[in-house]
Structure 1
Amino acid sequence: MITEPMNLYLQTDFPHAEQALIFHVGLGAVLAEQSRGELDDNEPTSPPWRRYCDALRAMDEASESEDFQAVGIKCRDTLIALGKQYQDAEWLGDVGERPKGGDFKGWAHLFAERLSEGRQRSYVKTLVDKTWDLAVWLQHNANATPFDADFVLDATGHLVTVFGRLVMRNEHDEPARCPQCESYRVDDDIEDDQDGAGFYESVVCAACGWRSERAYTSWEEHFAPDRVERIAEYLAGAGTGISDRLHSSPHASAAD
């Protein structure tokens, strides 16, 4: 048995431990390469990620320097798509002099200004400049090698991921912290009323046991007619929430 990732190998197939280890390391490398461009089924496929996957496929089929140069072109296209993706985002706010549509560096620097600060902002801006320069360098490198293309692919994928995380952080509130011990291990807690007429809601810290003031809600209030009507309207309408994707899946359609 070999761990990370755990796998089982028959001793009859691999008489010596060294043989099994070599095979295991090689298998892990292959799986990592295959999953590099895979997206979570629950995540929408954005234009930058689609172009990045095109670059990965081009790398799989590349064998000559001009093929590796083409990977650089596709990485550059990925970055341009990333610059265009958020040009109309609400968090961008008012932009005095808008960069040209394909000016990746200009837009990406604006994104960094809005989405980060301090050392993070400086890092993201440097990452923007260096990643773009790498992609352009690979595009024009007549002696490009597989290592060069892989290096630029990794840099491009990392930058797309960085901006994705910054945008996600901007769209969600900062994680709650316990006011007593400042731990992030806080969660909502619901307790039924003893007489069964309602329930109490509070926030509890799993680290120190702190609990917020409990708020009481009666079942009659919770299931008020207007609330039930809103829920019914939501369920009857065309779903737009994350859970509503289930209704548009092929399995759901077949079941209907």
Structure 2
Amino acid sequence: METRTFEDVKKYVEWQSQGKCTVLSAKTEQHFNDLGVDVYVWNVKTDTDGDWWVVEGDNVPMNLYPQSAYYFGADEAYSFHMGLMQRMSRSQEDYNPEDFINGVTLGAEIAPQLFRKLKNIAALIDTAKEIEDFQSIGVQCRETLIELGNHLYNPMMAGNEDQPQASNFKRKCELFIKFYLRGSENSDYRNIIKKLTEATWDYANKITHSRSATYYEVSTCTTLCISLVGVYENILQKVFDPLSQYHCSECQSKKLSISGDDSDEDGIVQKLYLHCEECGATTQIAFEKNDENSPTYITGKVIK
């Protein structure tokens, strides 16, 4: 296979944008050969469509990934691209949509209505061949994201602000993030998830209307959609996991298990006793009641 040139990459990116942007610069950012094939990651800048990673190489189809969303570096873009290509190269008999979803989400517990929709999308991606098939997958990704917003959102999250429209996925997610990921310690977490949310929604809408999308762009859209569902389910599990925020008061290990608790006459936990599996110490957590609009009704404080 001949080495791709600047003109090849420029032509590909501008074609993918349907002529709506101009490539200002494109240079090889990194070269990989750890799987026995030469693969190059290009750093591409455009005038109106942001910055992109373009991955291509020997017997590897060219594809592009937004730098502003999930793919922050050349390494991540390369790893995602090669994993996607390996999945696509497997025989149809070996492909299991449920296994694919569990692999992408790292086995996160997913609400049944969302898991069913994701299975449908993951099954369709292996049989899609025509533009209409690709557009249909874009539509289903978008509908799944709207369902995700409905699953996450509670009207009290808006506080004194206007309630979002029923299909306003991005606004519902924004209010969800503000409600559950408060504080400066969650600043980077909030920013990353916001970027991923907006990019996934925008890309699903782009695939829905695209007349030039290929199997590779639609596979990327599908994987982003599945990943985003897993991310939000992880946030819910983090919020309601009583142990995730604590560590051993002696050795700082997070290998903790609940060994006991003290509750009041109403059954509300006042103290929690955590056993450290690393050093055997016991850490006591005292709980205080917050206002009822707080995302966590009680706040724990290490007292020993």
Instruction: From 54, 57, 79, give the equivalent of 2:145.
Output: 79
Q: Which has the higher strand share?
A: 2
Structure 1 position 146 matched with structure 2 position 211 = no
Within 5 A, what are the aligned runs for 1:100-115?
100-115=165-180
Taking a change above 3 Å as real, the CA distance of residues 142 and 41 of structure 1, as seen in their structure-2 partners, is: closer
CA contact (8 A) 1:73 1:136 kept: yes
| Aligned-residue RMSD, C-alpha | 3.5
TM-score by length of 2: 0.51
SS of residue paired to 2:232: helix
Q: Normalization by structure 1: what TM-score?
A: 0.59
For 1:212 and 1:167, the matched residues in 2 are separated by: 25
Give the superposition deviation at 1:71: 0.6
Q: Using the alignment, how far apart are the partners of 1:28 and 1:67 within structure 2?
A: 17
Q: After the TM superposition, which segments of 4 or more aligned residues of structure 1 sit over 4 Å from their partners? A: 25-29, 31-34, 38-45
Provide the C-alpha distance between the structure 2 equivalents of 1:51 and 1:32, rounded to a whole number of angstroms. 15
CA change 1:133–1:32 in 2 (3 A) is same
Q: Bigger radius of gyration, 1 or 2?
A: 1
Among 144, 161, 167, the alignment partner of 1:96 is: 161
Question: 2:100 pairs with 19, 36, 52, which one?
Answer: 36
Following the alignment from structure 1 to structure 2, what is the Cα–Cα distance between the partners of residues 53 and 187? 34
Q: 1:57 to 1:119 in 2, by over 3 A?
A: same
- Aligned residue number for residue 33 of structure 2: none
Structure 1 alignment gaps of length 5 or more: 1-21, 191-201, 214-256
Q: Which runs of 5+ in 2 are unaligned?
A: 1-85, 261-272, 285-304
- 1:165 and 2:234 are equivalent in the alignment: yes
SS at match of 2:173: helix
Q: How many residues align?
A: 179
1:58: how far off? 2.3
Quickly say closer, same or farther: Cα 1:151–1:177, change in 2 above 3 A.
same
Question: Greater helix share, 1 or 2?
Answer: 1
Taking a change above 3 Å as real, the CA distance of residues 40 and 64 of structure 1, as seen in their structure-2 partners, is same
- Aligned-pair distance for 1:186? 2.9
Question: Contact 2:109–2:233 at 8 Å: present in 1 too?
Answer: no
**Structure 1 residues 44 and 132, CA gap change in structure 2 (3 angstroms):** closer
* CA drift at 1:44: 6.7
Distance 1:101 1:130 in 2: 20
